[in-house]
Amino acid sequence: MRKKVKYVCENCGYESIGYYGKCPECSSWNRMKEVAVDDKKGTKGTVRQEKRTIRRLKDIVSTNSDRIITNINEFNRVMGGGIVRDSVTILTAKPGAGKSTLLLQVANDLAKMDYRVLYASGEESESQIKNRADRIIDTIHPNVWVVSDNSMDNVLEFIEEIDPDLIIIDSIQTFILEDFPNSRAGSPTQTMECANQLVKIAKNPNRPRAVILIGQMTKEDEIAGLRALEHLVDTVLIIEGESGEELRSLLTSKNRYGSTGEMGFFYLTDKGMVSIDNPSEYFMTARDKDNLLPGSAITVLKEGTRPIILEIESLVSNSFTPYPSRISECLKREQLNTLVSIIEQRVGISFYDKNVVVKTTGGIKLKEQASNLAVVMSIISSVKNTPLANDIVFIADVGLTGELKRVPSLEVRIKELDRMGFRKVYVAPNSGVDIKTNNLEIIQLRTLREVIDNVFNHK
């Protein structure tokens, strides 16, 4: 009797009873692999589960998931207040960004609180993990267990043996299950099946456990493997940061237990990841009134639920080439060109023979339109070679007409400025009429020209 087979695409997981040179699902070539089908054993996961009771939605009693709170404040913030006990989280980043370093610190921190932690690595040896731990942790707690093994079957046995509260898998793409011998580590089948087993472990109502997976990142800055992996987990964390720089941003693109888009900040040092609990101090340059410099303006970004006071710096210089430079790592080139064009047309300052360079203190990206007015004012300050006062702030978008546009969450931003002792904030019309402040003056103006006249003529 001929043994039954099927063909599975290693790239996307598409299954077919016939072979294709080009996968019909993802269009990749020569990725269809033959997999034997065991009729006696049956396909994994096809056994029908016990039928559950159907209930009306309004009759279900909602519960707040219990959280494990670490001593790493920025990590807690991004997670939504701590690690949910029965959650599955995936953390991804480029190589060397600090994924393993951060999770080792989390593991040892929770171990000090009498939580049991299992750190399973399919990439590094136990001695490599120990060397990193010796470098970043002063005293390694005995509640942390480490295993270097890429067999998920063995890891599941270790979980039963140790009974950990937190399980860290580094990385999920390196593990394999013996039930799928024809699929290599990192294939969609192995990755998803290993993740499914860990989800079952985490969601066990009799013994909930928190699971954190480290996911490899592709050249396109996405989690390697199927998109279904992101749908499977509860939280997706991403570490961003340029190599060679110490600043690291931890953000969430998905969180079933907290705000999506929340961001935390860390220094990456030889001693590990250091939480930046007050980012506003990090993203501003401390200057007194006698040492002000042209080209600097302040705005307030909103990362998740947190307002961050940020300094934007600009440098405008003479160009001796036919094509002046427009350089910025903090915002897109097209956006910078648009803002320069608005200044030229609505303010009357020519840039055809001038280079424009824009950056932010700390290297944070400008993802919000609320920073546009501050970018424009920093450029104009540099052109005029006239510094702006360090206690005034700009929060508004700038339209192509030169008019100021309102931005969301303005009250939160203004309250933070009032708390930090700033004197004035420039916003669009009808933006802050009902916002009560103690010392901060809210100035609402209609156009960019009015802001320039007010700032430089009434200092």
Query: Other CB atoms closer than 10 Å to residue 77's CB: what's the count?
Result: 24
| 3-state SS, residue 439 | coil
DSSP state of 446: S
**225, 245, 277 - which closes a domain:** 277
Which is more confident, 220 or 130?
A: 130
**Residues 289, 141 share a domain:** no
**Residues 225, 339 share a domain:** no
Whether the pLDDT of residue 364 is over 90: the answer is no
Say if 117 falls within a structural domain. yes
Say if 56 falls within a structural domain. no
**Residues 295, 247 share a domain:** no
**Residues 289, 273 share a domain:** no
Query: Stretch 54-68: mean pLDDT, rounded?
Result: 77
**How far is the C-alpha of 421 from the C-alpha of 390, rounded, in Å?**
11
Say if 45 falls within a structural domain. no
Under the banding of pLDDT at 50, 70 and 90, the label for residue 64 is low
Whether the pLDDT of residue 459 is over 70: the answer is no
**Residues 259, 378 share a domain:** no
**How far is the C-alpha of 255 from the C-alpha of 303, rounded, in Å?**
15
Q: Whole-model pTM? A: 0.78
**Residues 308, 244 share a domain:** no
Whether the pLDDT of residue 154 is over 90: the answer is yes
User: Residues near 68 by Cβ (< 8 Å), separated by ≥ 6?
Assistant: 82, 83, 84, 85, 110, 113, 115, 165, 166, 210
Residue 42, pLDDT score: 43
**Residues 352, 443 share a domain:** yes
Average the pLDDT over each of 259-263, 278-282, 320-324, 446-450 and give the range with the smallest value: 278-282
Say if 44 falls within a structural domain. no
Region class of 318: left (phi > 0), else alpha (psi between -120 and 50), else beta: beta
The amino acid at residue 21 is G
Say if 43 falls within a structural domain. no
Average the pLDDT over each of 18-27, 77-86, 117-126, 276-285 and give the range with the smallest value: 18-27
Q: What is the pLDDT of residues 345-357, one digit of tens each?
A: 999 999 999 999 9
**Residues 296, 183 share a domain:** no
**277, 295, 320 - which closes a domain:** 277
Whether the pLDDT of residue 177 is over 90: the answer is yes
Q: What is the CATH number of the domain that holds 288?
A: 3.30.230.10
**Residues 92, 157 share a domain:** yes
User: Residues near 244 by Cβ (< 8 Å), separated by ≥ 6?
Assistant: none
Residue 458, pLDDT score: 62
Average the pLDDT over each of 84-88, 135-139, 432-436 and give the range with the smallest value: 432-436
Structural domain of residue 27, as residue ranges?
5-36
**Residues 445, 386 share a domain:** yes
Whether the pLDDT of residue 48 is over 90: the answer is no
Q: What is the CATH number of the domain that holds 257?
A: 3.40.50.300
Q: What is the pLDDT of residues 178-202, one digit of tens each?
A: 988 878 888 888 999 999 999 999 9
Under the banding of pLDDT at 50, 70 and 90, the label for residue 62 is low
**Residues 295, 263 share a domain:** no
Say if 125 falls within a structural domain. yes
Say if 55 falls within a structural domain. no
Under the banding of pLDDT at 50, 70 and 90, the label for residue 339 is very high
Q: Are strands 210-215 and 166-170 parallel, antiparallel or unpaired?
A: parallel
**Residues 109, 142 share a domain:** yes
Residue 183 in tokens: 């699929």
Say if 136 falls within a structural domain. yes
**260, 277, 294 - which closes a domain:** 277
Instruction: Tell how far CA 109 is from the center of its chain.
Output: 22
Residue for token pair 């937190």: 166
DSSP 139-195: S--TTEEEEE--BHHHHHHHHHHH--SEEEEE-GGG-B-TT-TTS-TTSHHHHHHHH
E strand or H helix at 255, and its extent?
strand 247-255
Which is more confident, 293 or 39?
A: 293
Facing residues of 397 across strands? 405
Query: Stretch 85-104: mean pLDDT, rounded?
Result: 93
The domain tally of the chain equals 3
- Let me know: does 361 contact 285? Beta carbons within 8 Å: yes
Residue 359 in tokens: 């950056």
